[in-house]
Chain A
Amino acid sequence: MIKIDFTKELESFTLDIDFTIKKGEFIAISGDSGSGKSTTLRVIAGLEEAKGEIEVFGKKWLSDKSFLPPQKRNIGFVFQNYSLFENMSVIENILYASNDIEFAKYLLYSVNLYNKKNTLPRNLSGGEQQRVALCRALISKPQLLLLDEPLSSLDSKIKILLQEEIKKLTKEFNTTTILVSHSNAEIQNLASRVFKMHKGQILEQDKIQQDILIGSILEVNSDFTKIIVGDNIIKTATKRGFKLGQTVQLDINIT
């Protein structure tokens, strides 16, 4: 169990956070810009100070008497604007977090980037850089994975593919994950619970229905529409009005 309960004074309001997460759970935090979502993640990561308690699987990361620095928390963090080490190749970036070379290769294969293992970040596209960042965040098998709007600067098609990769990898390693996102489609597709924030407070908490199938439009052309649902890609007759990246609720009989 992860217990997060802290307050932090910000310029225009007080961030007041209190929630718990179960092992292996994927939760999301949504809200307007400036509502304190990213700061919440940064406090959990130990990148910003706050008052309160954070306890992760029995170990205190933050309390009145103690503060565990970020390098000792065993977390994975994917930043919004790619934060790869520009002086290191793809594989060096991943191995910087852990020297498990076999696992690094496996992760690179999983995200279809093995053939670019010796490439420098500046020669990768935005989507490829985020995939490397995801591999680097996962290689140490973190106790907690924090995703700070990891897909917001990518185009729709890449967003959908990366969502599927995030889903696949976090499920495979049963990684407890907190996603901060503006996108309802992303949250619907990835998380099982969502906390909605406004001016530093969690206003409501919703369970996301897992019994309905949520798909995302991957490709639309004159003959058919491709919809991605989990690991499957479904082709259907084209219907008018679909947009690339749009989230759709599917009739369960379709699969």
Chain B
Amino acid sequence: MIDLTPFILSFKLATITTVILFIIAVPLAWYLSQSRSKIKPFFEAIFALPIVLPPSVIGFYVIVILAPNSPVGAFLKSHFDIELLFTFWGLVIASIFYSFPFMLQPLQSGFESLKKEMIEASYICGKGFWTTLYKVALPNIKPSIMSGLVITFAHTIGEFGVVLMVGGSIDGKTKVASVAIYEFVETMDYEKAHIYSSIMLLISFLILLFVYRYRVKQ
């Protein structure tokens, strides 16, 4: 019998990360797409770092930030009695850092591709920033939103290094599917490793198939 808990954890982690990242990335992507500031490339480079950094580097810095003796970790412990390392919510925070550019970049390119006059027409029609964003800008970049959501979700499902470093491998709490596969290989239980890997392969393929079919339809 296959234990589905690691898959459920992976899906829960990916869903929460995707939702939080969407909420954070929409206004930021909008700001970056409209900004002509000279320091914009500096911020863009920082936000794109997770694409090129080894997961171990991201994992290391998340540990440094969240450790109980760090300023952030100590603040969370003393004020809210929260410890994030080796917990599910610690994984969520690590995943937000790790998957950030995969949500931000499609949204930013989507906003940049919008006709400037369409946005200006909305202001001329008497509408403010938020109405323009939600009624005009977002509905006109649906393919970019779809790419951002699906790629972020898939990327979070597949993450391994950061998850292992920040969450470890605690059954039912932080042992997601990718970590479970790693453990099966370590213990030479190749049959289970095969089953888990096949399921991950199928899920990843179906997600990508969905994205490409959606693009064709659009």
Please give the residue numbers on chain A whose beta carbons come within 8 Å of chain B beta carbons, in ascending order: 45, 47, 69-77, 79, 81, 83-87, 96-98, 133, 136-137, 140
Chain B residues 106 to 161 lying within 8 A of chain A, measured CB to CB, are: 115, 117-118, 120-128, 135-136, 139-140
Specify the chain B residue showing the minimal Cβ separation from A46: B123
Please give the residue numbers on chain B whose beta carbons come within 8 Å of chain A beta carbons, in ascending order: 115, 117-118, 120-128, 135-136, 139-140
7 A-B pairs with C-beta separation under 8 A: A47-B123, A71-B125, A72-B126, A73-B124, A83-B120, A96-B135, A97-B126
Contacting residue for B140 out of A47, A75, A85, A96, CB 8 A: A85
Could you tell me the distance in whole angstroms from the C-beta of B72 to the nearest C-beta in chain A?
38
CA distance A74 to B136 in the complex (A): 19
Could you tell me the distance in whole angstroms from the C-beta of A197 to the nearest C-beta in chain B?
21
Contacting residue for B123 out of A69, A84, A140, CB 8 A: A69
B125 with A136: CB separation less than 8 A: yes
The CB with the most chain A CB atoms within 10 A, among B125, B127, B136, is that of B125
CA distance A97 to B135 in the complex (A): 12
A71 with B118: CB separation less than 8 A: no
Additional pairs, 15, CB under 8 Å, beyond known A71-B127, A76-B124, A85-B140? A47-B123, A71-B124, A71-B125, A74-B126, A77-B124, A79-B117, A83-B117, A84-B118, A85-B122, A87-B136, A96-B125, A96-B135, A97-B125, A98-B126, A136-B121
Could you tell me the distance in whole angstroms from the C-beta of A82 to the nearest C-beta in chain B?
8
Residues in A whose Cβ lies below 8 Å from that of B128:
71
Could you tell me the distance in whole angstroms from the C-beta of B176 to the nearest C-beta in chain A?
37
Residues in B whose Cβ lies below 8 Å from that of A79:
117, 120-121
A70 with B140: CB separation less than 8 A: no
Residues in B whose Cβ lies below 8 Å from that of A133:
121
B136 with A85: CB separation less than 8 A: yes
The CB with the most chain A CB atoms within 10 A, among B121, B123, B126, B128, is that of B121
Specify the chain B residue showing the minimal Cβ separation from A42: B120
CA distance A45 to B123 in the complex (A): 10
A70 with B124: CB separation less than 8 A: yes
On whether A86 and B118 interact (CB within 8 A), knowing A71-B128, A96-B135, the answer reads: yes
On whether A71 and B117 interact (CB within 8 A), knowing A87-B136, A87-B140, the answer reads: no
Could you tell me the distance in whole angstroms from the C-beta of A181 to the nearest C-beta in chain B?
17
Contacting residue for B124 out of A75, A86, A98, CB 8 A: A75
Residues in A whose Cβ lies below 8 Å from that of B125:
71, 96-97, 136, 140
A83 with B121: CB separation less than 8 A: yes
Could you tell me the distance in whole angstroms from the C-beta of A56 to the nearest C-beta in chain B?
14
